[in-house]
């Protein structure tokens, strides 16, 4: 994956993502990169109200080798995770996360160090109430097995 790394507080995330995806878009266009899937936001290293965020796109190994400047090469998130799909405005993601947290807490499942979102469509081409976002939370393989597959 090609990505841009940033740190933001919760209120800063929308603006930071706008800047990050603009940087990625410009790089992809200038470097002739072809994304292999939808955009991803990986959240990790939470410290109080601040998180590290990697914004990126899955790409081929050849395109990942083009990384330069602010745009870095890495791997897409993988491993055992619980998945939820949110339909609607990005403003509703907080409520989706609260629901995920309530369900995992009720089941006694500890949260992993990483969560990520995959944006299946975007606000530039899709009405806000039709936006689809996959939300993943990293868990152990044993905990993942306790939840039904989708």
Last residue of a domain, one of 75, 102, 134: 75
Q: Would the pLDDT of 150 be above 80?
A: no
Distance between CA atoms of residues 111 and 144, nearest Å: 11
pLDDT tens sequence across 17-62: 999 999 999 999 999 999 999 999 999 988 888 999 999 999 999 9
Banded pLDDT at 143 (limits 50, 70, 90): confident
* Residue-range definition of the domain harbouring residue 45: 1-75
Return the pLDDT at 49: 87
Q: What is the CATH number of the domain that holds 91?
A: 3.20.80.10
Is the Cβ–Cβ distance between 42 and 68 less than 8 Å? Answer: no
Residues 6+ apart with CB under 8 A from 149: none
Residue in the block written with tokens 């994956």: 1
pLDDT tens sequence across 103-124: 888 888 887 778 999 999 999 8
Asked whether residue 97 falls in the same domain as residue 135, the answer is: yes
Asked whether residue 45 falls in the same domain as residue 89, the answer is: no
Distance between CA atoms of residues 125 and 20, nearest Å: 19
Higher pLDDT, 97 or 71: 71
pLDDT above 90 coverage of the chain, percent: 65
Return the pLDDT at 106: 86
Distance between CA atoms of residues 26 and 28, nearest Å: 6
Return the pLDDT at 1: 97
Asked whether residue 117 falls in the same domain as residue 129, the answer is: yes
Asked whether residue 93 falls in the same domain as residue 51, the answer is: no
Return the pLDDT at 99: 87
Return the pLDDT at 127: 96
């Amino acid at each position: 994956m090609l990505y841009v790394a940033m740190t933001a507080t919760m209120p800063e995330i929308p603006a930071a993502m706008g800047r990050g995806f603009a940087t990625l878009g410009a790089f992809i266009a200038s470097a002739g990169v072809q994304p292999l899937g939808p955009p991803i936001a990986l959240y990790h290293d939470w410290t109080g109200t601040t998180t590290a965020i990697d914004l990126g796109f899955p790409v081929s190994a050849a395109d990942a080798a083009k990384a330069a400047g602010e745009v870095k090469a890495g791997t897409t998130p993988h491993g055992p995770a619980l998945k939820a799909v949110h339909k609607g405005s990005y403003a509703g993601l907080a409520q989706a996360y609260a629901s995920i947290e309530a369900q995992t807490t009720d089941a006694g499942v500890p949260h992993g160090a990483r969560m990520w979102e995959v944006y299946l469509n975007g606000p530039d081409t899709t009405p806000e109430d039709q936006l689809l976002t996959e939300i993943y939370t990293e868990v152990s393989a044993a905990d993942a097995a306790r939840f039904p597959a989708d």
